[in-house]
Amino acid sequence: MTRYKVGIISLGCDKNRVDSEIMLGNIKRNYEITNNPKEADIIIVNTCGFIEKSKQESIDTILEMAAYKKNYNCKLLIATGCLTQRYGKDLIELMPEIDVLLGVNDYKKINDYIEEFISNKEKIIQCNYSNDNINDGERIITTDKQVAYIRIAEGCNNHCTYCIIPKIRGKYRSRTIESIINESIALVKGGVSEIILIAQDTTRYGEDVYGKKMLVELLQELGKIEKLKWIRVLYAYPEELTDDMILEFKNNDKICKYIDIPIQHVSDSILKRMGRRTNKASIEELLKKLRNEVEDIVIRTSIIVGFPGETEDDFNELKRFLTEHKLDKVGVFTYSQEEDTPAATMEDQIQEDIKLFREKELMLLQQNISAEINKKKIGKIYDVLVEGFNNEHFICRSQEMAPEIDGYILVENNSNIKIGDFIKVRISESLEYDLLGVVYNESCE
């Protein structure tokens, strides 16, 4: 009997990617995996439901995949993830093309749901939620084979007024250090050189399981894995980033001197309305401390413009902040008015055209800052990971660059380079976000 072929489309964040990889790990036991939706008998869309743009992308993708039921092999369309968890039955009523609707829990049961639908041909809705479960288990890695994300915790306790995630993903729940280390060892044995730690808030890791923050202890244990080259930490909330964490960044040679700190804004009045537990002065003090303690640290952040009540003065304060502090990497997003969040009902909602104007202005400002920062890197030598080849250049990353969200170092073709290698590169030219380089040979100096 021919095995059904299953294809999956993963949308949204890297935490969603991990869920998709866990689903693939379960599915491969019973079915064949395919990357071609035209030949897939079963198509899974793992949705994002965080903001309006991502919701629309998820809906469009589901409808696009539904067409494969008419024109190609697809017999079963599954929608899962944050959008389905958020809207449940309402979504399947609006989109009858969906056959099976799952939330964000119990991906270990996905084979059972597939078999049930194949047998009964009746729609399935399973969006029950548990604050106890964390999706884990065997995964099929979908990143470059040298890199893997590891989710160290699920859910969030921060309850920022603009964010729906706690209502979708539940309260903060940490995995044990043992489970994370075991998974990391297995990944490294499979060829992974860089592990990227993710959670809604990595800095609070362990406090629910161990009664205190345990990120430092986790990083120390990861540092003992022999063939692991790089450890990268994303989503470190500024108010939870402690002195001992900063010291571990400084002293642990395997930790990338790179940190993602989502500050969202710097106006104290906007931060208060956002429900953030920090202020401009403490953010500036943290940046100063990081740069003083950790040599050459690269700092990434995300900023929301157009939050309800954001005045011209608030926005100008953001511009002055970026101009003064020159952060290495900045993502700018317009505020999305999400139902069931406190911010959605706040007065002084900002017009969409003003949001977009502020987003563009801030990105142009940061573009110039990035170009200025990159220009100073000409002549410097970096250890880089070779990730690909585009027929002209090898595509590489240094510690300063997280996959997909930051730039690349493009290295001239060289017959001695292989994908997966770590090599030394001298920067020869800078662009706004990317760098150009040549292989560095110490013996030629």
- What's the token pair of residue 416? 């001695």
Q: Is residue 336 part of a domain?
A: yes
Domain end point (choices 350, 375, 400):
375
Residues 227 and 335 in one domain: yes
Structure confidence at residue 136 (pLDDT): 79
Residues 297 and 334 in one domain: yes
Query: How do beta strands 42-47 and 76-81 pair?
Result: parallel
Give bridge partners of residue 42 from the DSSP assignment. 6, 76
Residues 329 and 421 in one domain: no
Domains identified in the chain, total number: 3
What does the pLDDT look like over 260-313, one tens digit per residue? 999 999 999 999 999 999 999 999 999 999 999 999 999 999 999 999 999 999
- Does the pLDDT value for residue 190 go beyond 50? yes
Q: Is residue 36 part of a domain?
A: yes
- Does the pLDDT value for residue 134 go beyond 90? no
Contact, 265 vs 283, CB < 8 A? Answer: no
Closest CA to 317 of 342, 281, 287: 281
Residues 292 and 229 in one domain: yes
As a whole number, mean pLDDT of residues 222-233 equals 95
Instruction: Name the DSSP letter for residue 239.
Output: G
Residues 118 and 12 in one domain: yes
Residues 297 and 313 in one domain: yes
Residues 52 and 115 in one domain: yes
- Does the pLDDT value for residue 9 go beyond 70? yes
Contact, 425 vs 414, CB < 8 A? Answer: no
For the stretch 10-13, contacts whose Cβ atoms lie closer than 8 Å and that sit 24 or more positions apart, written own/partner, are 10/46, 10/142, 11/45, 11/46, 11/47, 11/48, 11/54, 11/57, 11/58, 11/61, 11/81, 12/46, 12/47, 12/48, 12/50, 12/54, 12/58, 12/81, 12/82, 13/48, 13/50
CATH code at 426?
2.40.50.140
Q: Which residue intervals of 205-255 are DSSP H helices?
A: 207-210, 215-222, 243-251
What does the pLDDT look like over 70-91, one tens digit per residue? 888 899 999 998 999 889 888 8
Q: Which helix (H) or strand (E) holds 390?
A: none
What does the pLDDT look like over 49-71, one tens digit per residue? 888 888 899 999 999 999 999 88
Structure confidence at residue 444 (pLDDT): 52
Residues 290 and 306 in one domain: yes
- Does the pLDDT value for residue 178 go beyond 70? yes
Quick one: what percent of the chain has pLDDT higher than 70? Answer: 99
Task: Quote the CA–CA distance of 284 and 258 in Å, as a whole number.
Answer: 17
Structural domain that includes position 414: 381-444
CA 347 to mean position of chain CA atoms: 31
Residues 57 and 192 in one domain: no
Task: Quote the CA–CA distance of 259 and 445 in Å, as a whole number.
Answer: 33
Instruction: Name the DSSP letter for residue 3.
Output: P
- Does the pLDDT value for residue 1 go beyond 50? no
Q: Is residue 421 part of a domain?
A: yes
pLDDT band at 182 (very low <50, low <70, confident <90, very high): very high
What does the pLDDT look like over 333-389, one tens digit per residue? 999 999 999 999 999 999 999 999 999 999 999 999 999 999 999 999 999 999 988
- Does the pLDDT value for residue 256 go beyond 60? yes
DSSP 323-354: HHH--SEEEEEE----TTSGGGG-SSPPPHHH
Contact, 330 vs 366, CB < 8 A? Answer: yes
pLDDT band at 213 (very low <50, low <70, confident <90, very high): very high
